[in-house]
Amino acid sequence: MTDDTFDPVLDLATRADRIRTEMGGPEKVDSIRHEGHRTIRDHIDAFLDGGSFREIGTFSRSMRLADRATTPGDGKIGGHGRVDGRPVAVFGDDITVKRGSSSIVGGRKEQRLYERAIAMGVPVVHFGQTGGGRIPDLIGSEGISEAGELFVMARRRHQVPMATAIVGQSFGGSSFLSALSDFVVMTRGSTLAVTSPKVFEIATGEVISFEEVGGVDVHARTTGQIDIGVETDDDAYDAIRRWLSYLPTNVHQPPPRTEPVGALDPDPGLGELVPTRRTRGYDMRRVVARICDEGSVFELQPNFARNVSTGLARIDGWSVGFIANNPIFNAGTLDPEACQKVIRLATVCDSFNIPIIWLVDVPGFMVGKRVEHDRMLHWGMRMMQALQLASTPTLTVCIRKAFGLAWQAMNGSGMPNKGLYSWPGAEIGFMDPEVGVNVAYGSKLDQFEDPDEREAERLKLVAEVGEATSPYEAAGTMKIDEIIDPADTRRILADDLELLGNRPLPPPEARVLASWPTC
């Protein structure tokens, strides 16, 4: 006999409501909220457009018989929703269930959501705060041999944008996923590391705090393993929403264009932001902001490798990436960290067909023992390889100077740019004329006994070398497309972007950089 009073639909609703409300236990949920933090369900609801979340895997639980009743969702929660009306897949760690630790079924859920996102062509957003791998699930050969979502995502080829928010203590799985993401934002007070400091102490005896091993300032300033550090969870949601606004939903679509902001009239004040003396520092970010639509500049990794400024912006409504030397920090030189920063942005822009604007004011590659030991050779050439392989269009403007191989490295002559311009007062050459004269003519100058005669000859030689560094020399042999009035820079770039808007999108398989890592 069957119970005629049993309502399977009501039973479904009751089961789902209990799982979603109680999670890993009402007392754990209350404790998290009492401490001023949010559960993963709170994060998802606050991030997505209201009422848009549709869960996948509500009734999943641990494979272990002993844990089935106490592992709703098996430590991972996810599904689909919308951000500013656009579809996304979203998932994250449920710390009310065994500290959100990585397990077999939880990993399968993340993999399933990722595969659905790829098939449906929608971005992936991940909220990370896991306690690491779950023992005893993974301690044996069978458990650790479960392939898991990590290895599937490692071959994703950037088919859809992927963002991670680190919103708590993140070790193991969620940290690995952040390293595979195109954009990483981290809230102050959270930790991002491969292993917990507690494991350090047990394994090596090293005692270190959570903040020292992987706090916001460590990654924002030293490692460059995050794009933005923020103060609150709400700031993290806003950062991901803003980042997504510049990107297409997937590789088959062009980047979105917004309503243009600001006129394209000549801007006589732009050139005044740049000192004429090549050795005088200034903040290139002011130039970037002046060229781009007002309020559109979204700088990435602002406190890492500050000698180069990178990020996303809009010019006349068109989404662009920008890469610019910043002479106020280390004279705007290229060092290993700067090269890594450039490669990361170039890879993301190339994957999603976002044009890149290059603003050049570079004295060369950094020299010295430290950078040599930090593999300056490797990173400099890796950056050159990335630019040569890029399929997305690039536009370059030499603002004030470009010396040595750094001219090519900053997408100058010989690189596959679609527009190459220079301001009239710029200098382009093998090295700074002052340095070049000392290197090439030092012995000749030493022959002058009279200091005044020596200085007069030195100035004469500097002037001769300086004439050769004029951009008109390169423009005369079509190594520069045009010398432009600084006031017209924004208009010219906007015109080129509109022309480039007619180009056919290269197929995903033609975007070689899409297979490059972004970390």
Predicted confidence (pLDDT) per residue in 132-187, tens digit: 778 777 767 766 677 666 778 788 789 999 999 999 999 988 999 999 999 999 99
Do 318 and 501 contact (CB within 8 A), yes or no? yes
Residue 252 and residue 507: Cα distance in Å, rounded?
8
Q: Residue 290: in which H helix or E strand, if any?
A: helix 284-291
8-246 and 271-425+470-515, same CATH topology: yes
Question: Do residues 258 and 314 make contact, with C-beta atoms less than 8 angstroms apart?
Answer: yes
- Minimal CA–CA distance to 349: which of 132, 189, 500, 173? 500
Tokens 């290197």 sit on residue: 439
| Residue extents of the structural domains in the chain | 8-246, 271-425+470-515, 431-469
The whole-angstrom separation of Cα 253 and Cα 287 is: 30
Residue at token pair 């030189």: 333
Structure tokens at 455: 């200085």
What is residue 109's three-state secondary structure? Answer: helix
CATH number of 271-425+470-515: 3.90.226.10
Q: What is the DSSP string of 466-504?
A: HHHT-HHHHHHTTSSSEE--GGGHHHHHHHHHHHHTTSP
Hey, what are 348's tokens? 């993301």
In what helix (H) or strand (E) does residue 419 lie, and over which residues does it extend?
A: strand 419-422
Peptide bond into 506 cis (omega under 30): no
d(CA 356, CA 321): 4
Q: What's residue 420's pLDDT?
A: 98
Give just the sign of the alpha carbon dihedral 245, 38, 224, 516.
negative
Burial of 460 (0-12, 13-18, 19+ CB in 10 A): exposed
All residues at 6 or more sequence positions from 211 whose CB lies less than 8 Å from its CB, including other chains: 191, 217, 218
Residue ranges in the chain modelled with pLDDT below 70: 1-3, 139, 142-144, 147-149, 433-443, 461-462, 464-466
**Structure confidence at residue 201 (pLDDT):** 74
pTM of the full structure: 0.92
Quote the crossing angle between the two packed helices 284-291 and 489-500, to the nearest 10°.
Answer: 60
Q: How far apart are CA 310 and CA 358, in angstroms?
A: 9
**At residue 341, what is the residue type?**
K
Residues found in the chain:
519
The H or E element spanning position 83 is strand 76-83
Model pLDDT, residue 439? 63
Q: What is the pLDDT of residue 442?
A: 67
Nearest Cα residue to 430 out of 446, 408, 414: 408
Q: What pLDDT score was predicted for residue 497?
A: 97
SS3 call for 417: coil
Identify the pLDDT of residue 440: 64
- The DSSP line for 45-66 is HHHSPTT--EES-TT---SSGG
* CATH 3.40.50.700 applies to domain 8-246: no
**DSSP codes joined into one string, 140-193:** SHHHHT--HHHHHHTT-TTSS-EEEEE-SEEETHHHHHHHTSSEEEEETT-EEE
Half-sphere exposure of 187 (CA within 13 A, CB side): 22
**Cα–Cα nearest to 429, from 395, 453, 403, 455:** 403
**Tokens (6 digits) for 6:** 């049993």
